Amino acid sequence: MAKVLVIETSWCKGCGICTAFCPKNALELVGEKVRLKNTNACVLCGLCELRCPDYAIYLKEVSK
């Protein structure tokens, strides 16, 4: 199983926690919504999912 990063934009309140604590600086806020700025930088560590207060960003398992 592979993992992908999923963002539920309608639930994002733009607090900036995921962007601040992303160890690879792969996320950014655009108009108070989070966006994956650099797909290659994301190492799928899941720290954003751990600390998102709004359950708006998470790793999803997908079959290759």
Q: Counting contacts by CB under 8 A, is residue 55 touching other proteins?
A: yes
Q: Cα Rg for the chain, rounded, in angstroms?
A: 11
Q: Counting contacts by CB under 8 A, is residue 53 touching other proteins?
A: yes
Helix locations, 1-64, DSSP H: 17-21, 47-51
Q: Residue from 22, 26, 48, 56 that binds other proteins (CB under 8 A)?
A: 56
Binding track over 11-50 against other proteins, x by CB under 8 A: x-xxxxx--xx---------------------------xx
